[in-house]
A and B are shown apart, each in its own frame.
Chain A
Amino acid sequence: DQQVKQNSPSLSVQEGRISILNCDYTNSMFDYFLWYKKYPAEGPTFLISISSIKDKNEDGRFTVFLNKSAKHLSLHIVPSQPGDSAVYFCAASAVGNEKLTFGTGTRLTIIP
C-alpha cells in the first residue's frame, strides 16, 4: 500500500533554519491531510492538518502546504528547534472516510 509516500527517510537541519518535510500521495479521493510527530516509545502527536479545499494552513512555527495538482504536501517548520527532532508522519483520509493512511515517516534531526 503506497498511497502515501515519504521519500526521505531522514533529514538533518541546523537549529534556527527551516525544516521542510515532503509527502506525496496517489489516491485522488484523499481530502484531509495531517502531520504527526512521534518520539520513541510514544504515540503519534498531532501537529497540523489541512483540508483539500485549502492550499495552506499555518499554526505557529508549523505551516502545511497542499498542492492538489501535484498530489504533494509539505510541512515547514521555522525556526527549527532541538525539540523538533523526531519522526514525522504524514497521513491522509479519503472522502467520507475516517481511516488514516500513513506514510513511512521522515526522521528529522535538528543540529544545535
Chain B
Amino acid sequence: EPEVTQTPSHQVTQMGQEVILRCVPISNHLYFYWYRQILGQKVEFLVSFYNNEISEKSEIFDDQFSVERPDGSNFTLKIRSTKLEDSAMYFCASSETGKNQPQHFGDGTRLSIL
C-alpha cells in the first residue's frame, strides 16, 4: 500500500540553527500537510499546501516556518532559527483530493532542539 515517507526519523539540532524536514507524499495525492505533536499534547495542524502554494496555516506557522515542494516528489518544512519549544514530532500528511478525503500520515520526524 502506498505510504508517506519522512526523513530523517530523528533530528537533533542546536538552538538557533535551521532545520529542513523532508517528506515524500503518496504519488497521486495533490494536497499536503504538516502537523506537529509536542510531547504529551495533541496533534496540531501547521499548514496545508496545494497547487504550489499554502492554502491554510495556523497561528503557529509564523515567519520562522516555510514549506516548499522543490520537485515532483518532495515536500519540505523548513524551520529557521530553531527554539527549544520547537522540539516535537513533526508529521507530514497527504490526501488525494483535499476536503472530505482522509489524510494519510508518515511516521514522523522527531525534532530535538538542544
Quick one: which of A1, A32, A43, A91 contacts B106, CB cutoff 8 A?
A: A43
Quick one: which of A34, A41, A49, A103 contacts B107, CB cutoff 8 A?
A: A41
A45 at the interface (CB under 8 A from B): yes
Residues of B within 8 A of A (CB-CB), count: 26
A49 contacts which chain B residues (CB < 8 A)?
102
Number of A-B contacts (CB under 8 A): 60
In the complex, the answer to whether A45 meets B105 with C-beta atoms within 8 Å is: yes
In the complex, the answer to whether B42 meets A97 with C-beta atoms within 8 Å is: no
B33 contacts which chain A residues (CB < 8 A)?
98, 100
Residues of A within 8 A of B (CB-CB), count: 25
Whole-angstrom distance between the Cβ of A41 and the nearest chain B Cβ: 7
A82 at the interface (CB under 8 A from B): no
Binding site for A on B (CB under 8 A): 4, 6, 31, 33, 35, 42-45, 48, 55-56, 58, 91, 93, 95, 98-100, 102-108
Q: List 18 A-B contacts (CB under 8 A).
A: A1-B44, A31-B100, A42-B108, A43-B6, A43-B105, A43-B106, A44-B43, A46-B103, A51-B100, A91-B43, A97-B99, A98-B48, A98-B98, A98-B99, A99-B58, A100-B45, A102-B42, A102-B43
